[in-house]
Amino acid sequence: MIKGSAKFHSYPDSTSEIPQRPHRQRQVDFPLDCTSFNNVTSGACPATYPTIWTVEEDPNLPPSSTCPEYFRWIHEDLRPWAQTGITRASLEAAKQTANFRLVIVNGTAYVETYEKSFQTRDTFTLWGILQLLRRYPGKVPDLELMFDCVDWPVILTANFSEPNGPSPPPLFRYCGNDATLDVVFPDWSFWGWSEINIKPWEVLLKDLKEGNKRTPWKNREAYAYWKGNPEVAETRKDLLKCNVSDQQDWNARVFAQDWMKESQQGYKESDLANQCLHRYKIYIEGSAWSVSEKYILACDSVALIVKPHYYDFFTRGLMPLHHYWPVKDDDKCKSIKFAVDWGNSHKLKAKAIGKAASSFIHEELKMDYVYDYMFHLLSEYSKLLTFKPTIPSNAIELCSETMACPAEGLTKKFMMESLVKSPADSKPCAMPPPYDPASLHLVLRRKENSIKQVEEWENTFWDAQSRQP
């Protein structure tokens, strides 16, 4: 029991402030046509895709909802080019580490590949963009961009800080940090991760919702759970020291995942929907950010987030002590033990943190909003281009048929499960305005103060423990 805890900080539930998006009955307008692709058109993309999105002219359609708060970071990510625009030269400079160049002209996608990515990251990223074009046909503007599928951001802010120096190369990837200017984009796993049997997000989110119901929070194991590959980062190897032993119980139950063995056994022990069994779940970065964060946050469990050094497109919308509990990265075991002891002594408050996180994931990160984030990011990005996008001579046209029809195994299965079968029946959510300097400072200050509050609680507790005889 932790006595004399300081006042618990809570914040408004942002989910409740977001109007639910209107929906009407959808019609299947253009299913995948592999028969024509294979037998008639000799591998050419169908000419029957809708090119006009008629929903905007529908007078019966309600107004768009406002996008979640984390969409405001789109303005921040593109701010380095707000005054200068993006020139052809700065775009070409991003080619140095890019896996591919994506070109969209007149609603059609083309790709120029430079280097195959690790596993199917590039495949499912491009697949996701094709589904965006099917969701909002004819509405994604012409653009060219460079995409790097490697984890670590590389466009260092320090290299582009001179007032009259060159503009930074606009390079898209899955995560960023405070020292870089890479533009963050939804990661490939939203459409599936075939190598480790992670289903597309829309399917998996339903599974997680059902998994949440199986064991109520109060009946879950009163420990912190983590399962993953510790070999990718020293910080994860350090986490293994927090596991229970004959000498010490840090309130953590930590397991190393052998993905090779798991694949041979049919992924029986890695079903994410069956892992909502503990009151607390640990998120810790790998070599950079990890796609596991959204799965951990979706479980109703209190997410114990070991101090992150990277962010993806939505995590900047999370607030410490409202959506998660911050954990020190340089003293993990003590920090985890304190968090679990605190939560077990303040069950209603701990349960509320877990629920706020899962509500955020299930409501503000549903696939509708993932697509809208992509739509708004690409639309705002295209406005900054100072040149006319052109199709490279060695680029190939992409469509859902060129990717899914020849695909096999889990790759094909996940593509079929994540296929957008008809244009959207509602407008994209309305973009919130950019942060002004004062409001951005307030958000960052509030996060910092919440983390400091937890550190103060921890220090007080452990100081008291050390003074006991």
For residue 417, report the phi and psi dihedrals to the nearest 5 degrees.
-70, -30
Q: Write down the pLDDT at residue 11.
A: 42
CA distance 142 to 337: 52
Within a domain: residue 39? no
- Looking up residue 250, the CATH number of its domain turns out to be 3.40.50.2000
Residue finishing a domain among 349, 366, 383: 366
User: Using CB atoms within 10 A of its CB, is residue 158 exposed (0-12), middle (13-18) or buried (19+)?
Assistant: exposed
Angle between helix 121-135 and helix 409-418 axes, rounded to 10 deg: 20
State the greatest distance between any 2 C-alpha atoms of the chain, in Å, as a whole number. Answer: 83
Within a domain: residue 258? yes
Q: Write down the pLDDT at residue 143.
A: 98
Residue 455 structure tokens: 């550190």
Q: Write down the pLDDT at residue 465.
A: 82
Closest Cα partner for 325 from 313, 309, 312, 343? 343
Burial 198-230 (b: 16+ CB within 10 A, else e): bbbbeebbeebbebbeebebeebeebbbbbbbb
Contacts of 289 (CB under 8 A, 6+ apart): 151, 174, 175, 308, 310, 311, 312, 315
- Three-state secondary-structure class, residue 112: strand
Q: Are residues 148 and 216 in the same domain?
A: no
Q: Are residues 94 and 155 in the same domain?
A: yes
CA distance 9 to 272: 30
Q: Are residues 322 and 398 in the same domain?
A: no
Q: Are residues 350 and 413 in the same domain?
A: no
Q: Are residues 136 and 267 in the same domain?
A: no
Q: How far is CA 44 from CA 129, 352, 396, 402, 445, in A?
A: 18, 52, 11, 8, 53
Which domain range does residue 424 map to?
A: 63-194+373-442
Q: Write down the pLDDT at residue 246.
A: 77
Within a domain: residue 261? yes
Q: Are residues 213 and 361 in the same domain?
A: yes
Q: How far is CA 298 from CA 175, 244, 261, 313, 374, in A?
A: 20, 25, 26, 16, 21
CA distance 346 to 358: 19
Q: Are residues 94 and 171 in the same domain?
A: yes
Q: Are residues 215 and 275 in the same domain?
A: yes
Q: Are residues 117 and 158 in the same domain?
A: yes
Within a domain: residue 1? no
Domain count, the chain: 2
Q: Contact at 8 Å (CB) between 243 and 181? A: no
Residue finishing a domain among 317, 333, 366: 366
**Number of CB atoms found within 10 A of residue 97's CB:** 18
CA distance 395 to 108: 12
Residue finishing a domain among 350, 366, 382: 366
Within a domain: residue 167? yes
Q: Write down the pLDDT at residue 231.
A: 87
Within a domain: residue 400? yes
Contacts of 301 (CB under 8 A, 6+ apart): 217, 220, 225, 276, 278, 279, 280, 281, 354
Within a domain: residue 99? yes
Q: Are residues 183 and 74 in the same domain?
A: yes
Q: pLDDT 10s digit of each residue in the chain, 469 long?
A: 443 344 444 444 444 455 455 544 456 678 888 887 776 556 678 877 777 777 665 666 665 789 999 999 999 999 999 999 999 999 999 999 999 999 999 999 999 999 999 999 999 999 999 999 999 999 999 999 999 999 999 999 999 988 888 899 999 999 999 999 999 999 999 999 998 889 999 999 999 998 888 899 999 999 999 998 898 899 999 999 999 887 889 999 998 876 566 555 555 554 566 778 999 999 999 989 999 999 999 999 999 999 999 999 999 999 999 999 999 999 999 999 999 999 999 999 999 999 999 999 999 999 999 999 999 999 999 999 999 999 999 999 999 999 999 999 999 999 999 999 999 988 899 999 999 999 999 999 999 999 999 999 999 999 888 777 6
Within a domain: residue 58? no
CA distance 180 to 127: 27
- Three-state secondary-structure class, residue 378: helix
Closest Cα partner for 304 from 244, 274, 344, 272? 344
Q: Contact at 8 Å (CB) between 215 and 276? A: yes
CA distance 137 to 144: 18
Q: Are residues 291 and 266 in the same domain?
A: yes
Q: Are residues 92 and 240 in the same domain?
A: no
Q: Contact at 8 Å (CB) between 430 and 65? A: yes
CA distance 338 to 179: 31
